Structure 1
């Protein structure tokens, strides 16, 4: 069912595509190699650039974040791209809608009049002068600060639009976060203590060709932003495990708390961004979503977290070494990660057992 574009929005997202929805790393993703060759050869000449943009595939998680931003705030998207004077608004609008940005989230007056990158601020002012109904607006552009926009949403040009920028944008366009960004159950009584390696990122995932290359790069990479890019774009987490984790939380009304050894080397925000980019639903995170590293190992870390949350009545540790650590053993094979059998066991421990013949429609599995 088609719907008309928005013409009455009181909130607007002025959107640059380059380095926001389409980063340099995205251009070189396997599905975009031909488009990248065309883009590099075009020198941003009109015909070549338009041809490349008609072939390029945007990262689905960025599109999901943009759609959610518009849905949760009632904002409409207006193009503020440096490519506008080269290819026009039709090519760029088509790029967005072809990659599943909902057409009704685009403003009817879909583009600012950009003559060159330096004119963006004047272009926004000109657009706003034609739309007095707009009360709140933000700019998503990696160069927004340099272009003179005050207090812009900071977008890293190599990372692009992530959950961090989305949350910041929601804060700015609405006085408070929408309910789905909050802990769904502030006093959640069911908790999933989550490991990553061997669970959502099983050993089998590292045998893929792209992952082998990513592993070599990770071994020598010390830049945190670059490592995050590699984990987000080049490392393939288990889609089945991610789907099962989301279903486990939904079925058992449980929330996620990190107990992964990644905590020892990375910030909890870094870990959450990576998992969110691979599909772990935002509404499943607990407000206090990471165990403190007590220095006594995972068992001590879980005990410390539970000591601060007396409301918890059921919990499970989803870890391929849970039995060895003294927790209930879910039978997770680190080679395969979270599977249906370990999912069933976790549901039992959280008080929501799965029937033997229950149809797992959420994964398309047979009875």
Structure 2
């Protein structure tokens, strides 16, 4: 699938009308809006799977119809649309909601923070899930984590990076709090929906862009105009996806439907991670061999500068005046430090040992 196929599908869906009632013969018809182009590999396709799974696990008592970014709600408008009850649920990432809550953005993704497995451990066993739900309840929302891209790639750049000085003045599309890190290092950061990035790169409006990883990035065509593709360096160890429902509508469900909806969302988490891990290596090979993308490692001085800037940003965030935001952030920091210490004793030496001898 290429970017033209993705956007043609979105245009066709946008031409349909919304004539179905919210309730038909005792069955609910929910509208899901997303922050992604329709059928974008990764978040776009997984959002559709969540919608289909809710329909299946509820036995059709709830039918979910998906509308991609811009079809009825702009990509960054989905939070407010569901909060206000204009539509029923959305699929996006918490990293987009910094203006509503610093803690929500951190749960979505934080530079040099938690990996996907650590994030789920923190939510399920570290007491964070209850606070996550309490935070979103302020906005009439019921959230569920429903996927994760794993380590995000640093991004596509028109020019190679030599050192931190190359970031100063760089026009960069960077979503979420990684944007705040780049800004601290002098980059001119622009937040824009992923569907607008290719044209901005092509027009020279931006010099670089990050999104997810090879499977999702390849079809968007960024490598056609920005050939240097920098691999992960810890700048985004993970990026979680969330399905979020208008809370009054979720609360009104009988217990069996609440459980079915929860399972439909949460079951996608492991499945999404596994799919990205499977498809990313294959997509990367195709990008290199067929599209001429040149993979680069991020220079160590750039990694260090990003890490130092990330910690500076976190020190500012932990001063949030809101007690709930502050409690979530402090819990995140403590869990991250414990996880990094253990990973250094377990996963780092394990991966180093695996890399010693290729099996060829």
Q: What is the TM-score when the length of structure 2 is the normalising length?
A: 0.23
Higher helix fraction (1 or 2): 2
With CA pairs under 8 Å and 6+ residues apart, which has the higher RCO, 1 or 2? Answer: 2
Look at both structures and tell me which one has the larger radius of gyration over its CA atoms.
1
